[in-house]
Amino acid sequence: MKKMIFEGSGVAVVTPMFENGSVNFDLLGKLIEFQISNGTDAIISCGTTGDSSTLNHEEHCRVLAYTIQKVAHRVPVIAGAGSNDTAYAVELSKEAKSYGADALLSVTPYYNKTSQAGLVKHFTTIADKVDLPLILYNVPSRTGCNIKPETYLELSKHPNIVATKEANGDISSVAKTKSLCGDELAIYSGNDDQTLPFLSLGGSGIISVFANICPKEMHDICAKFFAGDLAGCRELFLNYLELMNSLFSDVNPIPVKEALCMMGYDVGPCRLPLIGMSESGKKTLQEVLRKYKLIA
């Protein structure tokens, strides 16, 4: 059995920005402290929710380095270091390791995509060249590229490929992947609204958007499950399902950044091509946040 990076709730933390689009590092530090003080089990930096697709190389590296330094080994830091260019993914992964990252998150190639054999070659190349635990990230709705269970089995044979963040929305494929890979591949849900089903199939937790606004609640959902309190886990999960879904009422991370702003964390806008929510969308989100007593 491979060493687990974390069990429970890992937050795909947002990257706060000023109105001019530059990174707000002071606020990033406050968000990290908010997460750790509320029980978050891992910090995932520069993922989709962290606006990674519009950070340039220098910004990406500065955010990773700052986050790793700020966390200071209190919880694992998983560095988003994927690319559709294998050589660049290796370069970014090496930089993340040099800063002290505990693990890497590597998305499937997007736009150019690849075959299943190409996925094996892509990820094993990264894992061969960078001696850090590697979490694969499968999100075909964004990339147009899906990792099949049989491909996971082949990838799980590599000692550095330890887990996947699975966001293909297909619970049946998750069950098959777990059946094939067993303890050789930890599985984290990539969708908040599927956390409980993933846990029930032997998942190790969640890499969460929802945890940005409710870190303790998402930690507790996982903790109750692992403690054997299945009824308590289910009750808490179902109670927060509406709020989880509200954070996907527009393209991620637009709603979660809007929610944080409403809660008093001025994380600023996303960069183009993402734009702010419509006024009606904001009003609906505000009503949900008020229902859960996150805003007055």
Catalytically active residues are 137, 165
Bond from prior residue into 253 cis (ω within 30 degrees of 0): yes
**DSSP annotation of 258:** H
What torsion, rounded to 10 degrees, do the Cα atoms 276, 279, 280, 286 define?
80
| CA gap 166, 175 in Å, rounded | 11
Q: Are 63 and 92 in contact (CB under 8 A)?
A: no
Cα 11 to the chain's mean position, in Å? 6
- Residue 294 structure tokens: 């996150």
Termini Cα distance of the chain: 47
Say which residues have a Cβ less than 8 Å from residue 221's Cβ, sequence separation at least 6.
Answer: 9, 195, 196, 233, 236, 237, 240
- CB neighbour class for 137 (10 Å; exposed up to 12, middle 13-18, buried from 19): buried
Cα 31 to the chain's mean position, in Å? 15
- Residue 164 structure tokens: 């996947």
- Residue 166 structure tokens: 């699975």
| CA gap 185, 182 in Å, rounded | 6
State the residue for tokens 């969640």.
206
| Beta-bridge partners for 12 | 44
Distance (Å) of CA 17 to CA 36, 50, 242, 278: 21, 10, 27, 20
